[in-house]
Structure 1
Amino acid sequence: MKRVIVFGSLNMDLTIEAERIPAAGETMTGRGFFTNPGGKGANQAVAAARMGAETYMVGAAGADPFGDQLISSLVEADVDCANVERLDQYPTGVAMIMRVSGDNRIILDPGANHALRTPDVAAALARVATMGDILLTQLECDFTTTLEVLELGRKLGLMTAINPAPAVELPEEIWKSVDVVCVNETECEILTGVYPSDGKTTRQAIETFMERGVKIVAITLGSRGSVVGEAEGIHEVPARNVSAIDTTCAGDTYIGALVAGLAAEMPLSEILSWASCASALATTRLGAQQSIPSLEEVECELAK
């Protein structure tokens, strides 16, 4: 079985619920405040590990209590954290999350997430990566480093995967170093110029990515499920009917389950059922990592 190596962010999520988004200068009373380990990189690592993949985290956190909690959460999920650096000169990254009607609004302070550079990550990959392993990254760490790490992953013979979020335009040449991309509707439009509003536009977006050299393209569509393209064809996966209360970690859970299935070399149709179910279950619970289901929970739900 291949391993999953995640180069990405670790954030402490500070979450509160409100009836609506406050107007400029307005103070509102909220409810349900809590803190929860998060960060796209860490969330996706936890999701991959909980779905059974041997998972390694590469990243950075501050030498502070939030950093301690984030490392503990990853270790508890069986994620190897030997390559997570603890830095005195930076605080741990923080995400301020407001929950409104089951949806969320997020503001990030990256902190230590922007500290690592390509030589740091290259050294970590030299310690843990072997040819054929999956390297997964996002865009919450240093931008230039992330792009260089994808290129390095390709040179090392790794399967490279990216969740390009928060979405920004990427240089055209980077796509030749990407095997797998997973985007939501907004990210898809920013990167392809096509909003996947229906079957035709979704296929058009997938073809755009594949023409750039990407082998597997996953587009998550919220309540419309997801669509995934590969050389053999396009797979449409409907969303599971659940009572969503918090979508904070739905996308990260989907991606983590997707790469875990790829690491296990499962048929793509089976992987997508996994990922869709895991993502749906995550929306029925509050928070980031604490909402991510285990493999046993996903299999139990799929058996219903």
Structure 2
Amino acid sequence: MKKQILVLGSVNADHVLRVSQFPRPGETITGHSYNIISGGKGANQAVACARLGGSTQFMACVGDDGFGHQVIRQFVEDGINTETVEPIAGVNTGVALIFVDQRAENFIGIAAEANNRLNREFVIDHQKAIKDADYLLTQLETPEDGIITAAKIARENQTFVVLNPAPAKPLSDDLLSNIDMITPNQTEAEMLTGVVVQGQSSASQAAQVLHDKGISIVIITMGSQGAFTSMIVEGQLSQEMIAPYRVEPVDTTAAGDTFNGGLLVSLCEGSNMTSAVRFANACGALSVMRHGAQTSIPSRVEVETFMSVQTESHQRHI
């Protein structure tokens, strides 16, 4: 039987405007394309898990509006169990306003809307899904009391808890002490630890701060440098920098979400951490080569083909 992944998190309608450069305060600029795309870090990660081959359930709140009902249908098409995705009357589905510049960097503002209803009470009402899961994956676009409650329920029921601490913000030790694995990028790692992460040495320092808070596995994504992994296994510290795949990015919007989805799927299939991170790196690399959030998330076949081609190319150059 396949291991079960439960993703708890946000759903947004992403309004994406592509621009040559970001506006300064008071400046009006003209974009060259505009799209409304399904997004939200929770939804992106759930879609990534499902497309990459994971048995995936999603816990989320959407508005009782046209976009909310449309996105639920899209989740079902991607193979996601939506029993714990609930339309909430009287509120809108979450919204993200996104500028993407010509260097593929993004600038994002979010209105939580229905995402704010994914709170402690909602989680308690739907706790069976947490108890039944093998992995719980969550982020920080929904209320922290709901996330803490979910993490505690998971811990009490031997469900492995993974936190992608994005968007970056300070977190309580009460939450961090209930996390098994955390996956910050460099900015998020600095926010949580006070350590400016620039290379492997500083990444190791930041990871130690998180280990001291009770987290056994730390993975810091570091862009072109790759992903730094730090694990405490049976009292022994193991650390490694895992190289990225070299690609030309066009849009980084859901790269981290795709990485997290790929990581969880690979771990569910029994891969060791090094292999799981390599697979996740490939998933993220494919994502940045496409525009949008969920529109950029690859399928399992696409990732396996990409990794095979990259391996063959590497071998030809040895």
TM-score normalised by L of structure 1:
0.96
State the Cα distance separating 1:56 from its structure 2 match.
Answer: 0.4
Q: Given that residues 5 and 129 in structure 1 are in contact (C-alpha distance below 8 angstroms), is that contact kept between their aligned partners in structure 2?
A: no
Alignment of 1:17-166 (within 5 A): 17-100=18-101, 101-127=103-129, 129-130=131-132, 133-166=134-167
Partner Cα separation in structure 2 for residue 129 and residue 76 of structure 1: 25
Give the superposition deviation at 1:169: 1.2
Deviations 1:21-68, CA, capped at 9 Å, x for gaps:
112222211012111111000101111111211000001000112112
Partner Cα separation in structure 2 for residue 90 and residue 265 of structure 1: 41
Q: Deviations over 1:195-251 (max 9, x none)?
A: 210111011111221122212111011121111111251121112111100000000
1:209 is aligned to 210
Residue 122 of structure 1 and its aligned partner are, at CA, apart by: 2.6
Q: Identity over the aligned pairs, expressed in percent?
A: 35
User: What is residue 197 of structure 2 aligned with on the other side?
Assistant: 196
Q: Is the aligned partner of 1:253 residue 2:243?
A: no
Deviation at 1:175, TM superposition (A): 2.1
Note the C-alpha offset of 1:116: 2.5
Aligned CA RMSD, in angstroms, stands at: 1.4
Runs of 4+ displaced beyond 3 Å = none
User: Cα deviation per residue 1:113-152 (whole Å; 9 max; x = unaligned)?
Assistant: 001322322332314642x610111111112221222112
Q: Distance in 1 between matches of 2:280 and 2:3?
A: 18
**Hey, what's the Cα distance between the residues in 1 that align with 2:294 and 2:145?**
27
User: What does residue 223 of structure 1 align with?
Assistant: 224
Letter in 2 for 1:179: D
1:288 paired to 2:293? yes
Number of residue-to-residue matches in the alignment: 303
Structure 1 residues not aligned, in runs of 5+: none
Structure 2 unaligned blocks of 5 or more: 310-318
Q: Is the 8 A contact 2:124 2:149 kept in 1?
A: no
8 Å Cα contact 1:51/1:260 also seen in 2: yes
- Counterpart Cα distance in 2 of 1:97 and 1:225: 25
TM-superposed deviation, 1:75: 1.5
Change over 3 Å in CA distance of 1:127–1:213 after alignment to 2: closer
Q: Which amino acid aligns with 1:261?
A: S
**TM-score, normalized by length of structure 2?**
0.92
8 Å CA contact 1:38, 1:70 repeated in 2: no
Which SS does the other structure have where 1:183 is aligned? coil
CA distance in 1, matches of 2:240, 2:130: 33
